Amino acid sequence: MTSKITYLGDLRTQAIHIKSGEQIITDAPTDNNGKGEAFSPTDLVATALGSCMITVMGIWARNHQVNIDQAELEITKIMAPGPRRISQIDVLIRMPNHPYSSEEKKKLEHLAKTCPVALSLHADIIQQIEFLWTHEA
């Protein structure tokens, strides 16, 4: 089992990660009858994409002595009406100001675009990914 989810009422859930015991609370968003006081389930999908991207980049970077510490991702989720669904996820990746080679940049961009979550999302969801390579922390 990966997780256990309990409906707490008032459009709120609590998810518990079985292995670690970590918890996530979700709320329905304000544009869908909720309070918006926590991530919505679709927020988590979009956020999972960014987390997956930077994680696989981090694995490669660590194995190749490339520093990506302090890289930042900004995620924007766009919903489509009727039926309500994620239509687009915009990801802005701000890389630290390090002297990355063109090969390192190419590899990191490829890894981000082909991470497991990116490959698991429905093909109709537009994934707009932009890298900024001169980010200063």
Interaxial angle between packed helices 102-113 and 41-63, expressed in degrees from 0 to 180 and rounded to the nearest 10: 150
Cα 13 → chain centroid: 20
Residue 55: name the closest of 74, 41, 40, 68 by CA.
68
pLDDT tens across 39-69, in order? 999 999 999 999 999 999 999 999 999 999 9
pLDDT tens for residues 17-33? Answer: 999 999 999 999 999 99
**Domains of the chain from N-terminus onward:** 3-32 (no CATH), 41-135 (3.30.300.20)
The whole-chain average pLDDT of the chain stands at 96
**Overall pTM surpassing 0.85 (yes/no):** yes
DSSP at 98: -
| Omega cis (within 30) before 83 | yes
CA distance 95 to 21: 31
